[in-house]
Structure 1
Amino acid sequence: MPTSFSSLPQLVTAVKAATNGTLTTEPKEIKRIRTGGLPVGTNNQYFTTWDFVNGMIRDHSTCTWYSLLITFEDHRFSLDQCCALVHRFDYTYTNFLRYSGFEEMAALAAAMSKHLPTATTREEAVKAVRAFLAYLNRLAAWSFHYFPWDIGKHLTYYTTASVAASPDLSRRVHVTNGRKVRMTWQPLGISVVATLATKENPELCNDVLRELPFTIIQDHAVVSGESMYAWAPVISTAPVHVKERQCDAPVGRIRYSQATGNKIIVQYGEVTEDIETPVLGEIMPEYEDKLREVGRAVWKSTFQTKEIILLTMETMD
């Protein structure tokens, strides 16, 4: 990949090419740091660097560039004001990540800071920011998958009692008959049918539908309980009309988190969080047993084996 670009469109083309190359293939930077290929870390160990990198990549996408995207789309701010924020908010992250082996990402970020002020329209700038955010989300997805979450078995609660939030079923959202999609997990060979909340959250669902079909890496939640998520190749800032507390949701609920990486989230059992999340749809009840089988396999993949499980999502009409 070139280290310099003559224009913002040329830069966006390069960013999209880098993103497409990591949908189902691990980025070389992630592999290098997780296998100890980068001699960075105090006392001849690299776990601490890996830990820092994993958190910073996630924050870089969810807290920095997603916030920048919302700002670029907000016409209360001039394009010049938006561009002035990029280097200020980005540099601390990219400078450390560059030092930690992410030279390509840092070069692309620096080029974004340089070329965004040359955008001829706000739309051109927004497209560029969206492209770079999609690239960062892919790095975050792969970093999350390979992080050694099984270290948590040494830091468990003394009690065996459930830590789940108390559900209030009166607050459960009812999804009306919307567009049907198929979700398939390989190599498990398990498919389910889901109904999207196209009447409850039409703009959000349309953002997802426009990108179907896609295949992405599936991972398991590490905080909220029996839930799975996958970073979608979608960048949505759509208005959300209907949210639901996770603890109130039924098995099979599909959520969508714009602010934490544009993740598709599937609940297959008990969760611990009472946080409200946008409703994307629900998997039909007759697939509950299959869904639990997928959940157990994905839990094992994320926490133990690191086997790649891929989710394909496609329309049925």
Structure 2
Amino acid sequence: MALLETGRQALQRGLALLPWTGIHRAASGRTGPRIAVIGNCQARGVARALTVLLPNARIELMPIGTLGRGRRSLKALADGLTDHDHVFTQPFLTGRFRDGGSAELVGMLPRARLFPAIVFPAFHPDMVYVGDFGAGAELALVPSPLHTYHSAIVLFGYLRGLSAQRIVRLFRQETFAALGYLDGWQLSADDLARSSRAVGVDLAPEILRWSRRGAFMHAINHPKLFVLADLAGRVARDAGLAPLDLAVDAYLVDDLLDDVIWPIYPPVAEVYGLAGSYAFKRRAVPGAAPSMLGVEGLVAESLALYDAMPRARLICHRTEHWSGAPEIRALFDAA
């Protein structure tokens, strides 16, 4: 029985709407079309890829998290983009402006088009966010040893009162099979195809091509650079531009390697013919070697954080669903 959220549900809960700081502005000397890219952490990779694929274009990145700063309305944002030749935006909700969201922005700007946010849980089915998304603010997210990414198994084990040692024992094939972690591919692929079609960019062919390169995600909502480059090329072509035909990841470093990298658990990896591990990588510290956690470290640090905050903050759709499933409760209680 599959008990995972779909990628679309994750999106609705804010998984792919976290801010990314910094703006990549057009390189000096470029005289080609002026293009704004609006989006989440994925948009930075799309914008950087466009600077390679469209070598004369002037690219400006506008992180979703910064959109409301200094702009009182969506119309003000649109007015500031009228001098752009193209505007590529990921979906964003109406909560950032009183007068609308991305759909309304596209209606205001004839040369604007939507592009999808990529959420693909199959490689990392245990990864969840914790917090009250109803609050409508990123600050509602509960911190974890891995920024704001949590293990659903660790959280539910904590909520059931399990010791660290008992929670660690749950990281095994029998647990993953019972939780639906070993059969999430079709759900993830179908959901990404549906959500991409909803904004006019059918990614079904790309998903098949990406899968031939093995694991194409660093985390549930962090695609590898070649995925974002494919998306950038697709959006550019759909807009009538002529991107170069080349492998962007041969020219650019993948920025998302500096963020959290969630491992593909060995029993999950085996299903896909991949190498797996339990090595969790923290966000990079400039100048420092990568900092890693094993399962024992992740469990210990997570429980310490949970102990230090009100239980009412530990809100997670996945664990709420598991609480209503007797067979899942019994699985954890028997660990």
Q: TM-score, normalised by structure 2?
A: 0.22
Larger fraction in helix = 1
Q: TM-score, normalised by structure 1?
A: 0.23
Larger fraction in strand = 1
